Structure 1
């Protein structure tokens, strides 16, 4: 069996593996400069392994042999989020360098729009890339909400946990998985969560203002999710009502039974 160099260098595992190695390099650098606890190391490594497995599985299912430029940018963001995760878990046991944490978060957020632009300019947009980008954003919000929750109250974790609770609820109520109409306000609310969490993480506001900003972010997120859930529920009820009013004869496909004459003709031909 012959194997070309192009085939060897385009294996689906190569991109995810590069991300795993990059995370190890970043974690080593953080441990040498700012310090990481054992739990921080474990959390970071667990995140990196999960990223490797999920990304490789996604590439194989999508039939993609390489990440592409846009997904490579997203992978870089994902590696930075892994470093943020290790630092946040470390902060539970010892103090960490706030400038380093804010820098990692800031760069990860700054690159958020870059991968989309690269995908559009190179014509390499894909459902995998969109999902990859969304999941990294969601996990970063969750990690930051955990970090600020240790100072301002664990209720703040709801900011990051909201989406994961919504996804879990889809198992019990599949109608929540319906398509939502595009809303500009939904994008504004999502951006607000990131901005507020970064500002609070960087400790740029007095404690009272930071508390109020987190409360506003959570209230706006609750409103956004509540509105979407209400819309999905109305859509599902409308669908059920339309199905119930449809005559039974229209819902059950008719079965064609050959006439007596056709059956006789068929017998004669045999």
Structure 2
């Protein structure tokens, strides 16, 4: 996992294929599941390799290796979820993969801090794996509660797409503990709903509450970013006015009057 740049993502791809073979031998994976899982793994390896090349990283490092392990498990979850569209899948296996992936979510951050190997690529990698797992789980529970649950997983991607039209959405947000709580709630609620640990009515209420909390969190952040953008534009306009007022036209010196001789 901590091999050279050209080998790190390939090792992750090989680990994913091994996991797929194990799932196929024990639980059964449909052709569509194989295709979805393999496409995910190939895109993951390509994106990670491109990110390492862009940032000049020669090796994944211990923290990114843990994240890559989580990403491999998410690939297995993806294959099982797609397979569930055609035939039932064993929930204990699915929930185990999800549970381990979520448990490791706190490990890679700790490893990064303790080994002083925190990087922007690692933070982005971790965030993308989390976001995709939430999306896959929201698709799975949609089979029970309706396709509206996909909004939970799609929120982040809609936000990214909106930032292409409104670049001010890419501005840095201040750290908020509530944002972390809301993100954690999404994972917990979706896992509970996936595992059918609660009666359907109670699980439906929990999933709906998770969506409401997500709307509140994203809405608050968008309003804050819009307010900051308006302040920035006002400051720029004011600075431009001040700059124009400070420009003075140089006065010509009066010519001395002619002296009569």
TM-score above 0.5? yes
SS in 2 for 1:148: helix
In structure 2, the CA distance between the partners of 1:253 and 1:144, relative to structure 1 (3 Å rule), is farther
In structure 2, the CA distance between the partners of 1:101 and 1:130, relative to structure 1 (3 Å rule), is same
In structure 2, the CA distance between the partners of 1:12 and 1:253, relative to structure 1 (3 Å rule), is farther
Q: Find the aligned partners of 1:253 and 1:36 in 2 and give their Cα distance.
A: 72
- Identify the residue that residue 175 of structure 1 maps to in structure 2: 168
Alpha-carbon distance, 1:248 to partner: 4.5
1:25 and 2:18 correspond: yes
Q: Find the aligned partners of 2:244 and 2:213 in 1 and give their Cα distance.
A: 42
Query: How many residues matched?
Result: 246
> Could you report, residue by residue, the CA deviation over 1:150-184 in whole angstroms, capped at 9, with x for unpaired residues?
11010000000000000000011111111111111
SS in 1 for 2:117: coil
The TM-score with structure 1 as length reference comes to 0.88
SS in 1 for 2:59: coil
Q: Which runs of 5+ in 2 are unaligned?
A: 248-261
| Correspondence 1:6-45 to 2 at 5 A | 10-45=3-38
Alpha-carbon distance, 1:241 to partner: 1.4
Alpha-carbon distance, 1:187 to partner: 0.6
Q: Find the aligned partners of 2:212 and 2:240 in 1 and give their Cα distance.
A: 44
Alpha-carbon distance, 1:122 to partner: 0.9
Alpha-carbon distance, 1:238 to partner: 1.1
- Identify the residue that residue 149 of structure 1 maps to in structure 2: 142
Q: Find the aligned partners of 1:228 and 1:148 in 2 and give their Cα distance.
A: 27
The root-mean-square deviation of aligned C-alpha atoms, in Å, is 1.6
> Could you report, residue by residue, the CA deviation over 1:222-268 in whole angstroms, capped at 9, with x for unpaired residues?
000000000001111111112222244627999xxxxxxxxxxxxxx
Q: Find the aligned partners of 2:213 and 2:77 in 1 and give their Cα distance.
A: 25
Q: Find the aligned partners of 1:237 and 1:99 in 2 and give their Cα distance.
A: 50
1:129 and 2:125 correspond: no
Runs of 4+ in 1 over 6 A off after TM superposition: 251-254
Alpha-carbon distance, 1:11 to partner: 2.8
Alpha-carbon distance, 1:218 to partner: 0.1
The TM-score with structure 2 as length reference comes to 0.91
SS in 1 for 2:86: coil
| Correspondence 1:159-174 to 2 at 5 A | 159-174=152-167
Q: Which runs of 5+ in 1 are unaligned?
A: 1-8, 255-270
SS in 1 for 2:196: coil
In structure 2, the CA distance between the partners of 1:252 and 1:181, relative to structure 1 (3 Å rule), is farther
- Identify the residue that residue 238 of structure 2 maps to in structure 1: 245
1:209 and 2:205 correspond: no
- Identify the residue that residue 181 of structure 2 maps to in structure 1: 188
- Identify the residue that residue 51 of structure 1 maps to in structure 2: 44
| Correspondence 1:100-139 to 2 at 5 A | 100-139=93-132
Q: Find the aligned partners of 2:44 and 2:245 in 1 and give their Cα distance.
A: 46
